[in-house]
Amino acid sequence: MKIATWNINGVKARIDAATTWLKSAAPDIACLQEIKCADEAFPIQVFEDLGYNVAVHGQKGFNGVALLSKPPFDEVTPRLAGDPDDVQARYLEAVISVPSGALRLLNIYLPNGNPSGTKKFVYKLAWMSRLKERVKSLLALEEPLVIAGDFNVIPAPEDVYNPSAWMEDALFRPETRAHFQALLNLGLTDAFRACHDEPHRYTFWDYQAGAWQKNQGLRIDHLLLSPQAADRLVACEIDPAPRGWEKPSDHVPIFIELAV
């Protein structure tokens, strides 16, 4: 089974890129972030025509996550627990039946948090703490769990083109990286690092200053696996090709293959 994650940066603006990539790569499940539309405005029919069941947790003009799955959903739960006043659409959880049993997916669009030292950064860290508590409870179920999405976290210096330039950025602040490491310490596996040890492999290149042409990127989109999912990991790859297409997202897809 192939499971992909991609911050699409506006599903209406990238619909051609999205359908082109889905037809070519043919993931069984695709997690999209930053769809930037309300539920009723999401182009469900386009993806259903490609053979996907669709679940959406959207927000007009901002944020938003969507799940595309060829197998039907058994359960779908929007919103991250822990803060009833949080109205930002950043979390979508689903359970899907696979040949070996149940597979649980968390599709997340973690807050950016910039500028650091502001309420936005406090919100980011609090959101990460809430995510940790949810994951901790789910790991107790001892089932295959995949947490996919745009984490807005640069885990290590080898995941950014110029670490010194990012020291004060919320994506690379020590507090952010510590929260990410605490998540991994629950027993999760960074799928890409389990398959690749080479530095300077990126999932994001800014639109500004020729970042794509200069390969000045960041690895901030991740797939984290529970022990039961990690045991089934076959491969994990980043597909940089869509970043060079017309009207691209500033992120590219990353996907895993699991034996199910």
* pLDDT tens digits, one per residue of 37-56: 999 999 999 999 999 999 99
156 exposed, middle or buried (CB, 10 Å; 0-12, 13-18, 19+)?
A: middle
pTM of this prediction exceeds 0.75: yes
- Expressed as residue numbers, the domain containing 180 is 2-258
Task: Reply yes or no on whether 161 is catalytic.
Answer: no
Distance CA(140)–CA(187), nearest Å, equals 11
Nearest by Cα to 234 from 255, 203, 219, 253:
255
Name the active-site residue from 109, 190, 202, 221: 109
* pLDDT tens digits, one per residue of 131-151: 999 999 999 999 999 999 999
Q: How would you classify the pairing of strands 254-258 and 73-78?
A: unpaired
pLDDT at residue 100, as a whole number = 86
Name the active-site residue from 52, 91, 150, 169: 150
* pLDDT tens digits, one per residue of 182-194: 999 999 999 999 9
**Residue 247, domain CATH:** 3.60.10.10
Largest CA-CA distance found in the chain, in angstroms, rounded: 47
Number of separate domains in the chain: 1
- Token pair belonging to 60: 């007009």
| 239-248: average pLDDT | 97
pLDDT at residue 260, as a whole number = 86
Percentage of the chain lying above the pLDDT 70 cut: 100
Question: Helix, strand, or coil here: 234?
Answer: strand
